[in-house]
Amino acid sequence: MGFARPMPERPAPLILVTTPSEGAPFGSHVAIAADGQRLLATELSLRLGRLGAAVAPLPAADADGFHWGRWFTAAARRALEEAPGPVDAIGYAGGSAMSLMSDDGLDALLSPVAGEVVANNRFSADAFVVAGDLEAALRSLEACDTDNSAPRRLNEAGFGWRDLGSTTWARFDVDTTLDLALLRLATRLPGARRLDGSVQGYLEMARLPGDRALEVPHLARIGEVIRDRSAELVVAGRVPGATLGELETETACRVRSFVEERGMRSARGSGSAPRSLLHAFLERTSPAELIAELSRLGDAVVLDTRVLMAAHAGSADATAWPAEEERFASDFGDASRVATPWLRELTTAASGAAVPFVFGGHALLSDGLRLIVAAAWQGR
């Protein structure tokens, strides 16, 4: 049975969808990711429109002094003023979020009752829709530093919340070139949602620096580990509980997990900087020694390097981390594009390690791991 769609007599929910700005150097990892995100934003907007939503684009954000809450609420108020009729629900969606989620899942997102917020992940949201007292909702959202914390802030303001995080592929969001590679991998698996032709075509023809296709590094070797009852897979970072449960039931190998800083971008109030045991080890020894130690612990390693970046910078704000191009290149083992000394050393060491390493961010450690496990059993 599908989820309930918005009632016909109810005003269409108004959803503001982000689109990345242009201007990244041609052929860079950042430009490749942004081109894919623009196509995904168009596809998502069309899907939302077909399901009964009114969709408005979010204008590009100012790089200087960016504050998500002030940016979003200013755009939301303008969109409400320009709406041709009444609106009782307003929402936000990262343009490359939920690209694998079914239309039933999007229906659920579009269907909050008055006084409720529905989010794709209530602890680290990429998309949400809130209904009821919209001015009260916007006043609350105006103080949010990031979109990730929006549902929590609305809940603290008195709105009930509904979490779609357990819905299949609800957490998958394309932020990086590696995430695009994971999306391409998903299209090769049985039962995956069929992407728009322009998106699928882009995934097939896009080339990373060095004329490499969008492929998850070391996928075949990691698949061998997953299928081997005598092997051990190491995963470290922001691994959701549901993904850990699937690793326990769907892999033949043993799984060693280090779960750190889940929800680090939506947490607030404690005043403490992100902290990581793995980063503490790195600081006391070296990036190369961390890679060597992880290599000794298992036969393949999937590592959320953004937790290390946040701990190193003392901030969950990505503007304090190594530049996007460096982060994205590191995910593919391309140390030549990494200028930050510690990340360059980490990337170089992982590329030369005896066991395969895959670096990435939240998408890799959540739904990305599930895709890698599924691909292992399909022999992809």
Query: What pLDDT was estimated at residue 63?
Result: 65
The whole-angstrom separation of Cα 107 and Cα 118 is 11
For the chain, what's the residue count? 380
Query: What pLDDT was estimated at residue 339?
Result: 98
DSSP letter, residue 97 = B
Query: What pLDDT was estimated at residue 4?
Result: 47
Q: Three-state DSSP class for 21?
A: coil
Q: Is domain 218-378 classified as CATH 2.60.120?
A: no
Q: What is the pLDDT along the chain (380 residues), one digit of tens a residue?
A: 344 454 456 789 999 999 887 777 888 999 999 999 999 999 999 999 999 999 999 987 776 678 999 999 999 999 999 998 899 999 999 999 999 999 999 999 999 999 999 999 888 899 999 999 999 999 999 999 889 899 999 999 999 999 998 888 988 999 999 999 999 999 999 988 999 999 999 999 999 999 999 999 999 999 999 999 999 999 999 998 889 999 999 999 999 999 999 877 655 444 578 999 999 999 999 999 999 999 999 999 999 999 999 999 999 888 899 999 999 999 999 999 999 999 999 999 999 999 999 999 999 998 999 999 999 998 75
Query: What pLDDT was estimated at residue 271?
Result: 54
Query: What pLDDT was estimated at residue 27?
Result: 84
Round to the nearest angstrom and report the end-to-end CA distance of the chain: 31
User: CB of 121 within 8 A of CB of 198?
Assistant: no
The sheet carrying 160-163 orders its strands as: 54-57, 14-17, 89-93, 127-131, 116-119, 160-163
Query: What pLDDT was estimated at residue 232?
Result: 98
Token pair, residue 32, equals: 């490749």
Place of tokens 């503490």: 280
Q: Is domain 14-163 classified as CATH 3.90.550.10?
A: yes
Residue among 47, 187, 52, 164 at smallest CA distance from 105: 164
Query: What pLDDT was estimated at residue 242?
Result: 87
Amino acid at position 380, single letter: R
Query: What pLDDT was estimated at residue 270?
Result: 46
What are the extents of the domains in the chain? 14-163, 218-378
